[in-house]
Chains A and B, each alone.
Chain A
Amino acid sequence: MSKEEKKVNRRDFLFTATYTVGAVGLGAVIWPMIDQMNPDKAQKALATTEVDISQIEPGNSITVLWRGKPVFLKRRTPDEIAEARAVNMDDLPDPQRDEERVKEGKDEWLVMLGVCTHLGCVPLKDKGDYNGWFCPCHGSHYDVSGRIRKGPAPTNMEIPKFEFVDNNTIKIG
């Protein structure tokens, strides 16, 4: 190649400019094609659920559907709370104190996504080796605070965003 050819000439500039504009244009077309698969406005509109909890006796729990997923609302007995708080942090694969999993002053109410953090099955209540939940799909054991104790699940069952609207109503989401 001669020296003149190595110089940036008009044609090189046009090539680069064309590729650049082409890439931006392609990206602008591809992104809507990808993003259309994300949750739509109707799905996002279902973001909150209000639950009446006045009928739940201590020791009992209910399951409600929030964003297509089950949410466990458990009213725990003092014994269960004590049991959850007596656990040594070193025994937990995903260490988290029970106090961090409930609202302060509402210690008896455990509100969590009833979704196994392994592959998304719904764990069964009052089963497993730790007096909590047991996932039948791949054998994860959760304790009375919904924390993973044994099995393939990597983390504790998730606590969704929720608040007490009044003493008898919880708003999830």
Chain B
Amino acid sequence: MSDHEYQPKSKVGKWFNDRLPLLTLGAHLTDYPTPKNLNYWWTFGGILTFCLITQIITGIVLAMHYVAHADLAFGSVEHIMRNVNYGWLIRYIHSNGASMFFLAVYIHIFRSLFYGSYKSPREIIWILGLLIYLLMMAAAFLGYVLPWGQMSFWGATVITNLFSAIPLVGESITTWLWGAYSVDNPTLNRFFSLHYLFPFLILGLVVLHIWALHIPGNNNPVGIDIKKPSKDTVPFHPYITIKDAFALLMFMIIFAGFVFFSPNVLGHSDNYIPANPMVTPAHIVPEWYLLPFYAILRSVPDKLGGVILMFSAIFILFVLPWLDTSKVRSAVFRPIYRQFFWILVIDVLMLGYVGAMPAEGIYLVLARVGTVYYFLHFIVVLPVVGLLEKTDPVPMSISEPVMTGGAETSLARKINEKI
């Protein structure tokens, strides 16, 4: 790396850096050679960092006014909305921030799927990212319980009951999770504690995620290995920082649009009814970002089977780098995979839609078809397409298509035949 010889200019800087090389780290992050062809799909890493920090800051502030008690929680949230100065703003940023966080993370994940960023040598980055995603789902679920509305209570009941499907010890595990014989005050208390903890675990994993990223460097839209630094790279600052900042501004406009003009459109009105353990709402649904998995859960007419399949839908992603047999990373040069990629996108969107609908009639049929296809994509399509597909010629370098007027040069063809 280029910053090995970094020396601070000032004497004090040198004194400090010899004892704790933070300035070297700063120089590394500034000069970090980044592929020069990164498009806007690559700006979501920065956007996600912004989302995490926003959630942590607004969350800490909300915790100053919130009361984690079954009798007081609902009222304290209304107190935040009505009495606390700017409480409505902070809470709406936090609740919509969760949705924006997931919007960004889904784009980030599908970016990786399209450009093959999960493939060697970036498997650990991918796995760390999935762990972050799992913790995000857990944190979002725990946070959704805190207002102690009807959806909070029954969402908590349904999700914790997933564990009761485990043979033999299931009932003991749910009781242990609840700290009671149903979702009750002890449950709310511990959910608050864990909801406060998880973002910091996520933060730690984000540091590892970025660390692991900085070993091989960024993948890029062409998906080829590049020399770093070279004419194919630019320093992270100012080239990438300014691009990330522009994308972040666009993202914040959408974010602010939700916060100020339709802060409740992504939530559920039933959560403005205080929790009532005697009555289940007629139609309970999770938040939109969990709907595809909810559809998979409901598509199976068996309790344990549904739970296993739902968790498998997430855990199968952990072995994705080894299921994809193609040597070519980017879907730009994979004409067949490219089509299956978009089918998967449509499949997941459809699962999300039917997850919000009642589990009957045509919706149940669609959920089952969507579930089967989801698993087929990873277990059958990815390995088989990787072996059979004839990929397009891959350029030698990022600069080459620009310098020679197209990716399909004779030189590139030769390289491609070797692949």
Query: Which residues of A pack against B, CB within 8 Å?
Result: 34, 37-40, 43, 63, 65, 67-70, 117-122, 135-139, 151-154
User: Residue B183 at the A interface, CB < 8 A?
Assistant: yes
User: Residue B36 at the A interface, CB < 8 A?
Assistant: no
18 inter-chain pairs at a CB distance below 8 angstroms, sorted by A residue, are: A37-B176, A37-B190, A38-B179, A39-B179, A40-B186, A43-B179, A65-B278, A68-B184, A118-B161, A119-B161, A120-B160, A121-B158, A122-B277, A136-B280, A136-B281, A151-B301, A152-B300, A154-B302
Asked if A70 and B277 sit within 8 Å, CB to CB, the answer is yes
Chain A residues whose C-beta falls within 8 Å of the C-beta of B181 in the assembled complex: 39, 43, 67-69
| Complex partner residue of A152 from B157, B179, B301, CB under 8 angstroms | B301
* Per-residue contact bits, chain B 145-182, to A (CB 8 Å; 1 contact, 0 not): 00000000010011011101000000000011111111
| Complex partner residue of B177 from A37, A151, A154, CB under 8 angstroms | A37
Chain B residues whose C-beta falls within 8 Å of the C-beta of A68 in the assembled complex: 180-184, 277
In the assembled complex, the Cα of A119 lies from the Cα of B281 at a distance in Å of 14
Q: Name the residue on A nearest B174 (C-beta).
A: A120
Residue of A117, A136, A138 with highest tally of chain B CB at under 10 A: A138
| Complex partner residue of B180 from A67, A70, A117, CB under 8 angstroms | A67
Chain A residues whose C-beta falls within 8 Å of the C-beta of B180 in the assembled complex: 39, 43, 67-68
| Number of chain B residues close to chain A: CB under 8 A | 37
In the assembled complex, the Cα of A21 lies from the Cα of B153 at a distance in Å of 43
B357 to chain A, nearest CB (A): 12
Asked if B182 and A67 sit within 8 Å, CB to CB, the answer is yes
Chain A residues whose C-beta falls within 8 Å of the C-beta of B161 in the assembled complex: 118-120
Asked if B190 and A137 sit within 8 Å, CB to CB, the answer is no
In the assembled complex, the Cα of A135 lies from the Cα of B154 at a distance in Å of 13
* Per-residue contact bits, chain B 388-408, to A (CB 8 Å; 1 contact, 0 not): 000000000000000000000
User: Residue B18 at the A interface, CB < 8 A?
Assistant: no
Q: Name the residue on B nearest A153 (C-beta).
A: B303
Chain B residues whose C-beta falls within 8 Å of the C-beta of A135 in the assembled complex: 280
Asked if A137 and B284 sit within 8 Å, CB to CB, the answer is yes
| Complex partner residue of A119 from B158, B177, B186, B301, CB under 8 angstroms | B158
User: Residue B279 at the A interface, CB < 8 A?
Assistant: yes
Chain B residues whose C-beta falls within 8 Å of the C-beta of A70 in the assembled complex: 277-278
Asked if A136 and B283 sit within 8 Å, CB to CB, the answer is yes
- Interface positions, chain B 124-161, Cβ under 8 Å from A, are 154, 157-158, 160-161
Residue of B154, B160, B280 with highest tally of chain A CB at under 10 A: B280
Chain A residues whose C-beta falls within 8 Å of the C-beta of B160 in the assembled complex: 120
Q: Name the residue on B nearest A136 (C-beta).
A: B282
Given contacts A37-B179, A119-B158, A152 and B302 within 8 Å (CB-CB): yes
In the assembled complex, the Cα of A69 lies from the Cα of B187 at a distance in Å of 14
User: Residue B199 at the A interface, CB < 8 A?
Assistant: no
Chain B residues whose C-beta falls within 8 Å of the C-beta of A120 in the assembled complex: 157-158, 160-161, 164, 182
Asked if B162 and A119 sit within 8 Å, CB to CB, the answer is yes
| Complex partner residue of B303 from A43, A139, A154, CB under 8 angstroms | A154
Chain B residues whose C-beta falls within 8 Å of the C-beta of A153 in the assembled complex: 303
User: Residue B298 at the A interface, CB < 8 A?
Assistant: yes
Chain B residues whose C-beta falls within 8 Å of the C-beta of A117 in the assembled complex: 303
In the assembled complex, the Cα of A136 lies from the Cα of B360 at a distance in Å of 11
In the assembled complex, the Cα of A39 lies from the Cα of B304 at a distance in Å of 25
Asked if B277 and A138 sit within 8 Å, CB to CB, the answer is no
A116 to chain B, nearest CB (A): 8
Given contacts A40-B186, A68-B181, A137-B284, A121 and B303 within 8 Å (CB-CB): no
B283 to chain A, nearest CB (A): 7
User: Residue B212 at the A interface, CB < 8 A?
Assistant: no
Given contacts A122-B279, A137-B158, A38 and B359 within 8 Å (CB-CB): no
In the assembled complex, the Cα of A69 lies from the Cα of B160 at a distance in Å of 15
Given contacts A38-B175, A154-B303, A121 and B280 within 8 Å (CB-CB): yes
Chain B residues whose C-beta falls within 8 Å of the C-beta of A139 in the assembled complex: 358-360
In the assembled complex, the Cα of A153 lies from the Cα of B359 at a distance in Å of 14
B188 to chain A, nearest CB (A): 12
A88 to chain B, nearest CB (A): 21
In the assembled complex, the Cα of A111 lies from the Cα of B177 at a distance in Å of 27
A133 to chain B, nearest CB (A): 11
User: Residue B306 at the A interface, CB < 8 A?
Assistant: yes
For the A-B complex with A34-B176, A119-B303, A121-B158 known, give 14 more contacts whose Cβ atoms are closer than 8 Å. Answer: A39-B178, A39-B179, A39-B181, A43-B180, A63-B278, A68-B183, A68-B184, A70-B277, A120-B164, A136-B280, A136-B281, A152-B300, A152-B302, A152-B306
Chain A residues whose C-beta falls within 8 Å of the C-beta of B284 in the assembled complex: 121, 136-137
Asked if B277 and A43 sit within 8 Å, CB to CB, the answer is no
In the assembled complex, the Cα of A30 lies from the Cα of B300 at a distance in Å of 37
